[in-house]
Amino acid sequence: MSLNESLHVFTAENWEADVLGAEGTVLVDFWADWCPPCRKLSPLVDELAEEFAGRVKVGKLDVDGSPDVASRYGITSIPSLLVFRDGKVVAQRVGALPREELRGWLDAHACAVTTAAR
């Protein structure tokens, strides 16, 4: 499931169930391993997964491994962060953000995640 207890790995195969079918808020980091800003943002996303556990389902989607999913949401620049609530995009940011700015942005969109959705 994850790189740590709270961080999810999203793919084209689990997208429908784990993101669109999730109850509550889901943060998806669209990234690639060859992208320097993605690598800079990655540890922060890992931290947010732990910090927001139970409030936001946090995960990453490798755009090279799931290009159709990235294309479906118009992802042309990475890192791109999308917040989904009940299967719909409610917010989007592009680029590596400072820690406190990202934390505040995610907090503004957070809501409880049910145990079944985690």
Catalytic-labelled residue, pool 38, 48, 102, 113: 38
For 7-117, CATH number?
Answer: 3.40.30.10
Q: What is the spatial distance between Cα 13 and Cα 98, in angstroms, rounded to a whole number?
A: 31
Question: Is this prediction's pTM over 0.95?
Answer: no
Q: Distance (Å, rounded) from C-alpha 74 to C-alpha 81?
A: 12
* Average pLDDT of the segment spanning 28-34: 97
Average pLDDT, integer, range 102-118: 72
Catalytic, 35? Answer yes
The residues facing 60 across adjacent strands are 9, 29
pLDDT of residue 83: 97
- Give the pLDDT confidence score for residue 115 in this predicted structure: 43
* Beta sheet of 80-85, edge-to-edge order: 7-10, 56-62, 25-31, 80-85, 88-94
The C-alpha atoms of residue 55 and residue 25 are separated, in whole angstroms, by 7
For the chain, the domains span 7-117
Task: Provide the pLDDT for residue 5.
Answer: 77
**Residue 38 among the catalytic residues:** yes
